[in-house]
Amino acid sequence: MTQPLFSLKVPATTANLGSGFDTLGMALTLYNVFSVTELLPDGTFACEVCGEGMDELQDARENMVVTSYLRACQEWKLSPRGFHLESCNAVPLNRGLGSSSTAVVAGVTLAGLIAGKEIPEAELLRVMTLIEGHPDNVVPCFLGGMTVSCWDGTNLRYVKLPALPDDLYVVAAVPDFQVHTEDARRILPESVPFKDAVFNVSHASLLCAAWAMGRWDLLRVGMEDRLHQPHRARLFPGGEEILTRIRRHPDCLATAISGSGPTMIAIVKGPAGQLSSEMCRIFTAGGVASHFFVLNSPSSGTVVERGQA
Partner 1 sequence: MNDIKIDLDEDCIHVVFLGLPNIPGGAAKIFGALCEQGVSVDMITQNTMRGGRSDLSFLIRRDRLEEVIPLCREVSSKVGAQGVSFATEVAAITVRLKAGSPETPQVLAKMFSTLAGAGVNVEIINSTFPGGTGAVGTSPMWATVVCIVSLTHAEEGMKALRGAFGV
CA distance 300 to 79: 30
**Count of residues of this chain found to bind partner 1 when the rule CB under 8 A is applied:** 38
Q: Does 290 bind partner 1 (CB under 8 A)?
A: yes
What residues between 180 and 239 interact with partner 1 by CB under 8 A? none
Binding residue (CB under 8 A) for partner 1 from 14, 35, 137, 263: 35
Query: Among 104-112, 202-210, 221-229, 268-276, which window interacts with partner 1 (CB under 8 A)?
Result: 268-276
CB nearer to partner 1: give 86 or 123: 86
The burial class, CB within 10 Å (0-12 / 13-18 / 19+), for 250 is exposed
Strands 6-15 and 24-40: antiparallel
What residues between 38 and 57 interact with partner 1 by CB under 8 A? 48, 50-51
Phi/psi of residue 18, nearest 5 degrees:
55, -115
Q: How far is the CB of 174 from partner 1 (least distance, A)?
A: 8
Q: 140 preceded by cis ω (within 30°)?
A: no
Binding residue (CB under 8 A) for partner 1 from 189, 214, 273, 307: 273
Query: Among 18-26, 218-226, 252-260, 285-293, which window interacts with partner 1 (CB under 8 A)?
Result: 285-293
Q: Does 271 bind partner 1 (CB under 8 A)?
A: yes
What residues between 2 and 31 interact with partner 1 by CB under 8 A? 12, 29-31
CB nearer to partner 1: give 22 or 86: 86
CB nearer to partner 1: give 211 or 292: 292
CB nearer to partner 1: give 200 or 290: 290
CB nearer to partner 1: give 15 or 72: 15
Q: Does 68 bind partner 1 (CB under 8 A)?
A: no
Q: Does 258 bind partner 1 (CB under 8 A)?
A: no
Q: Residues of 177-187 as b/e, b for ≥16 C-beta within 10 angstroms?
A: eebebeebeee
Q: Does 303 bind partner 1 (CB under 8 A)?
A: no
What residues between 110 and 139 interact with partner 1 by CB under 8 A? none
Q: Are 80 and 43 in contact (CB under 8 A)?
A: yes
Q: Does 88 bind partner 1 (CB under 8 A)?
A: yes
Q: Which residues bind partner 1 (CB under 8 A)?
A: 1, 12, 29-33, 35, 48, 50-51, 86-88, 90-91, 174, 176, 271-274, 276-277, 280-281, 283-284, 287-296
